[in-house]
Amino acid sequence: MSSSLIIIDKAPYGRENAMSGIYIAIASLDKGIKFDILLMGDGVYVALKNQSSDKAIHYPSVSELIYSIFPNGTLFVHLASLIERGIKYEDLIEIAELVDGKTLYNISKTKKHILKI
């Protein structure tokens, strides 16, 4: 069975990309297609805990939405992007899995499709 990955490298809320990327993953998983998400660059902000976008700007919380991929999909978070932004692992939602560059390379080799949104 083919397995795919979507890379989200944009912060949530400033643009539609993060939410739309998550929807592609959810739809694929609903269809029984293995699909993972990788957050890198500003995309790592998607995995921050305690977001209150619904109250503050009337946008659905992407960190709540992203739970929908669990447990069949994996949420990878790029370690270097996290460190660059001063974010700690404990600041992230529970389903986040940290990956370094080498692990990321190995994950990408197993994917049929890799999209960057």
Instruction: Give me the residues that bind another protein (CB under 8 A), please.
Output: 2, 4, 16-17, 20, 23-24, 27-28, 30-31, 33, 35, 112-113, 115-117
Place of tokens 């009337």: 58
Return d(Cα 111, Cα 54) in angstroms, integer.
Answer: 34
Between 72 and 103, name the residue whose CB sits nearer to another protein.
Answer: 72
Shortest CB 87 distance to another protein, Å: 25
Between 28 and 74, name the residue whose CB sits nearer to another protein.
Answer: 28
Spatial CA neighbour of 18 closest among 89, 66, 79, 87: 66
* Beta pairing partners, 78: 99
Q: Please, what's the b/e burial string for 34-49 (b: 16 or more CB within 10 A of its CB; e: otherwise)?
A: bbbbbbbbbbbbbbbe
Between 9 and 92, name the residue whose CB sits nearer to another protein.
Answer: 9
Shortest CB 85 distance to another protein, Å: 21
Between 49 and 113, name the residue whose CB sits nearer to another protein.
Answer: 113
Query: Is the bond preceding 71 in cis, omega lying within 30 degrees of 0?
Result: yes
Shortest CB 86 distance to another protein, Å: 27
Shortest CB 113 distance to another protein, Å: 5
